[in-house]
Amino acid sequence: MRFLLRFFSLLFLVGAVMTGIIDAIQSVASATAVIMPFGAAIFSVNPDILAAAETYAITHLPPFVWNGIAEWLLLQPAFAVFLCLSLLFWVMAFKREPMAGRFAA
């Protein structure tokens, strides 16, 4: 299980770096700061996934989940959302070292 969490953390980290590089290239090309929102990044990968997520959230979850949380999340910078997701999965996979130390009997 820890392997999968670390793998997802790595994937989200790669996504954050890629969107950051794309934002940097677009910013240099247009001479203004360009930051891609998370919703636009998801829409560019698969346009149908946002409609499916909205349908699922409206039918199975309370209304504030889509109206408040999801819409706010879709407007945030993509690199920041991917970085937060990467950190979240890494923290879930983290295993503490024993208190006695590495070489304790």
Chunked mean pLDDT (size 10), the chain, 105 residues: 94 95 95 92 88 88 84 92 96 82 66
Residues 67 and 16 grouped into a single domain: no
Per-residue pLDDT, 95:
82
The parent domain of residue 16 ranges over 1-36+77-94
C-alpha separations of 61 from 17, 41, 52, 70 in Å: 32, 24, 13, 12
Q: How far apart are CA 91 and CA 67, in angstroms?
A: 28
Question: Whose CA is closest to 21, among 10, 7, 36?
Answer: 36
Residues 5 and 54 grouped into a single domain: no
Q: In a 3-state reduction of DSSP, which class is residue 43?
A: helix
> Does 50 reside within a domain?
yes
Residues 18 and 41 grouped into a single domain: no
pTM for the predicted model, two decimal places: 0.81
> Does 100 reside within a domain?
no
> Does 85 reside within a domain?
yes
Residues 32 and 81 grouped into a single domain: yes
> Does 83 reside within a domain?
yes
Per-residue pLDDT, 104:
64
Hey, what amino acid is at 60?
A: H
Per-residue pLDDT, 30:
93
Beta-bridge partners for 37: 77
Q: Could you give the number of structural domains in the chain?
A: 2
Residues 22 and 53 grouped into a single domain: no
* Token output for 21: 């590089």
> Does 99 reside within a domain?
no
